[in-house]
A and B are shown apart, each in its own frame.
Chain A
Amino acid sequence: RKEVEQDPGPFNVPEGATVAFNCTYSNSASQSFFWYRQDCRKEPKLLMSVYSSGNEDGRFTAQLNRASQYISLLIRDSKLSDSATYLCVVNPSGTGGFKTIFGAGTRLFVKA
């Protein structure tokens, strides 16, 4: 089993749609969780951290379910510019550790 698993997609949605991605992780001791966005042939950029209580940033909502060991990302009112690959990122060691595990990414295409 991979340490971090994501549905590769692609998700093809129309503008304005709501889309949700899930990600599961295998290490129950994992402490830090993130969603990154990666555009084609570019480096990943941090989209948002994921906190235990859930957090929202504009059209983006991230949630963490420790019991089931998954995190989710919800995008509301999708824009064309949201088309990208979304990477689920887990730091198994907490704030004191350095190893970060990346999921393979979920590809999103938003169409007009």
Chain B
Amino acid sequence: GAVVSQHPSWVICKSGTSVKIECRSLDFQATTMFWYRQFPKQSLMLMATSNEGSKATYEQGVEKDKFLINHASLTLSTLTVTSAHPEDSSFYICSARKLAGTGNEQFFGPGTRLTVL
């Protein structure tokens, strides 16, 4: 299989606090993981590409100092939302890429629903 887990699955926090979300590939190694954000009724938006052992690559418009990404091992990437505000409330999903045949399939974690009060 190719299982990706995320923790926590949901979190409610006060404005101004920081929240860390973990993404783990449970049965395979992932040199690259991806972090997405999805607002209600909208598509997944790639925030950043997380590379093991190196700095993450952020998409345009995503503040790297606000969304800290660490990919310390081949099975773990973390996203820290620093000084969260209500507008950061969203569904955060990670994925890990696994080469498969003629295409590149991504396996997604179950997502983390963040609500900032």
Residues of A within 8 A of B (CB): 32-34, 41-46, 49, 51, 87, 91, 95, 98-105
Contacts and interface: CB of A to CB of B under 8 A. Distances in A.
Contact of B43 (A34, A45, A99, A102): A102
Interface in B44-75: 44-46, 49
B46 A100 contact: yes
- Give the contact-size bracket for chain B: 20 to 34
A49 B103 contact: yes
Given A32-B103, A43-B93, A98-B97, A87 B43 contact: yes
Nearest to A93: B104
Contacts of A87: 43-44
Contacts of B32: 98
A51 B111 contact: no
